[in-house]
Structure 1
């Protein structure tokens, strides 16, 4: 059985990350989902994530099996929530973005493990409020998000390219540990 763990992404991971995102784009296109069908995300996006120390990879033994960007603090994408409201307002939350698993590992249920690892990492840093979004047509990701305890809170709009602005369903997970 392979060892599966999460770590911060490194510059040497960029090629593997770009490949993961390219195959994810192809998978979404096959499903008829227009998410990520422009030039976003790309190697510049990944480099920016690395520069901001918000790039994470899921490892399976010595192979990069997944990628996500995550950070704490205000996320401009989540400031204009429509058709709903956040359970808790404020700017003190962790955002999870660009979650993707390599097609070489598809079907191994690694996406829920990756989200759990990200939540656990940021929980250990003090985060108790988590936000994530996905395309309304991305039913597999919606299922993963819901199974990880996130609740749909409304709609946000993402700018994927200069000419593409698309609605995304926004989700929130609050961890209340006041009982301790």
Structure 2
């Protein structure tokens, strides 16, 4: 199950994020290898009510932000296009991570299912997400969850920081 995160969850969220950074580094993926996401990013998302925790046996084993505003990074798409039914109203999954030690339990699949249901409950009929081109693990989970590849975006308009973007209609 998932639940909204509170300010007291911030240390747990940062610990999960740090573990995810280590996993990405071990896989040779440059995503999240700087300061981002910062404590300020996490605190802001919690304050907005955008951060959710995935719980297993009453323990937080995953974190994600269900961003509920248009993402400026998605305004221009390269080497592709948003699907025709696209609208300005969509939810975006950001900063998703599952704590190591839970591999093989398909918790990512469960988390995506719950986040999709939550987005639908909140009135969204479209979801978007991005990931690094080298993050085969995340791409596999996205395709299993029903997302389709749409193209490439630049993060913060940086031509060296490219992400594959995916879209799902609910």
CA distance in 1, matches of 2:151, 2:128: 11
Alignment partner of 1:135 is 2:132: yes
Q: Structure 1-normalised TM-score?
A: 0.89
How many Å apart are 1:106 and its aligned residue?
2.6
Give the aligned partner of residue 111 of structure 2.
Answer: 114
- Secondary structure at the counterpart of residue 63 of structure 2: strand
Measure, in 2, the Cα distance between the counterparts of 1:156 and 1:74.
14
For structure 1, the 5+ residue unaligned runs are 176-180
* CA distance, structure 1, for counterparts of residue 93 and residue 119 of structure 2: 10
**Higher percent of residues as strand:** 1
Stretches of structure 2 that go unaligned for 5 or more consecutive residues are: none
Residue number in structure 1 paired with 2:32? 36
Matched ranges for 1:21-170 at <5 A: 21-87=17-83, 88-159=85-156, 165-170=160-165
1:124-178: CA deviations, max 9, x gaps? 222111101100000000000000000000001124xxx8951000000113xxx
Count residues with an aligned counterpart: 169
* RMSD after superposition: 1.7
Separation of aligned partners in 2, 1:152 and 1:95: 14
Q: Does 1:171 align with 2:142?
A: no
What is the alpha-carbon distance in structure 1 between the residues aligned to residue 55 and residue 81 of structure 2? 35
